[in-house]
Amino acid sequence: MLQITIPNNNAHFDLHKAATFQGTATNGIITVKLVADDKWPLGNANVDPNGNWSIIYSGFTQAGNRQITAIGFDSSNQQQTSTSINIVVSAQLDRIIQAAASSEIADYNWHQRGIAPIGYIKGMALVYGRVYCKLKAGDAAAKEMAKANTGNTEKDALAHYAQIFQNVGMNNDTPGVDTLRHLFVLLIGLGMRESSGKYCEGRDLSADNVTAETAEAGLFQTSYNARSANPLLPQLFQQYLTNPSGFVEVFKEGVTCSNSNWENFGEGQGKEFQRLSKACPAFAAEFAAVGLRNLRKHWGPINTKEAEILPEANTLLLEVQKIVDEFNLCPILH
């Protein structure tokens, strides 16, 4: 017997989000293959000793009604059984993506970095939409990002950047959505400075950071040892390991990755942190956002104030908030 237990029949997914499929298997089935519409492969998985299997598909390529079929194979790779469900794939997040594509920040020529990959601007708009929803739901990490300027210039990037924020009319003295949005304005600038908006960026090859603890990875060139700055950081790592839905298909647009970009260093959880930072850009962004409020010295461009603060980024993120609220996108962005 073979079952798909998650999602339910006729569940809704968005075109730009990863989809997780889970199920059970018995009667000698050791591997499961998942296909859409009887032809498009979505992935394979081994059945664990308890009879469970799980497959994460990075993102659908077209909207509409889709039939998802799980096919079970025995130890001789012979098909034994199959089961199907129907799902609905929509493109509601396209509203955010289109707003990002047409924004002024999408055409901005960043200092010494040029114009951002369009996937970076689109992806960061989606991540902000997700974290905005998390803040409205009372999520602890989002509240940490959105706390008022602490005044601690040694640890808090918003305190370190206080005068620059003041110069462009962004006040961070009150906890809440405005401070969260301004933090993401800084985060967008940091990503351009650290990786030129390249989600798969590997460590700086000119540096000696080659251990699992210190090797930097991803959009914001963050390393695993930053986790000690706040207990919420290891929690975010575990959450995204369990559900690595990070809008990577969006961040890919306009980016080319080399073999060296994908190389990870050391062993254990630190190596896994590097992999996840590149494979799941939303994780990299949320981790760095909490880090900026607690360990600003981790990032050289923050220390030197080279990460740009741009009102055009704030304008886009305000538009994202409006779209999320108007079209009730929080259930899709989660």
Residues 6+ apart with CB under 8 A from 313: 105, 184, 185, 188, 189
Query: Which of left, alpha, beta for 77 (phi over 0: left; psi -120 to 50: alpha)?
Result: left
What is the CATH number for 14? 2.60.40.10
Structural domains in the chain (count): 2
Q: Which of helix, strand or coil describes residue 31?
A: strand
User: pTM to 2 decimals?
Assistant: 0.88
159 and 281 belong to one structural domain: yes
Cα 65 from Cα 86, distance rounded (Å) = 7
Q: What is the pLDDT along the chain (334 residues), one digit of tens a residue?
A: 999 999 999 998 888 888 899 999 998 999 999 999 988 999 999 999 999 999 999 878 788 999 999 999 999 999 899 999 999 998 999 999 999 999 999 999 999 999 999 999 999 999 999 999 999 999 999 999 999 999 999 999 999 999 999 999 999 999 999 999 999 999 999 999 999 999 999 987 777 778 999 999 999 999 999 999 999 999 999 999 999 999 999 999 999 999 999 999 999 999 999 999 999 999 999 999 999 999 999 999 999 999 999 999 999 999 999 999 999 999 989 8
118 and 83 belong to one structural domain: no
Amino acid at 62: Q
Instruction: Give the residue numbers spanning the domain of 180.
Output: 103-332
221 and 74 belong to one structural domain: no
107 and 33 belong to one structural domain: no
Cα 329 from Cα 108, distance rounded (Å) = 27
Map tokens 């006729």 to a residue.
Answer: 10
Kindly provide the b/e burial profile for residues 296-323, where b requires at least 16 CB atoms within 10 angstroms of the residue's own CB: bebbebbeeebbbbbeebbebbebbbeb
Among 45, 64, 91, the domain-final residue is 91
Among 61, 91, 121, the domain-final residue is 91
As given in the structure block, the two tokens for residue 329 are: 């996108």
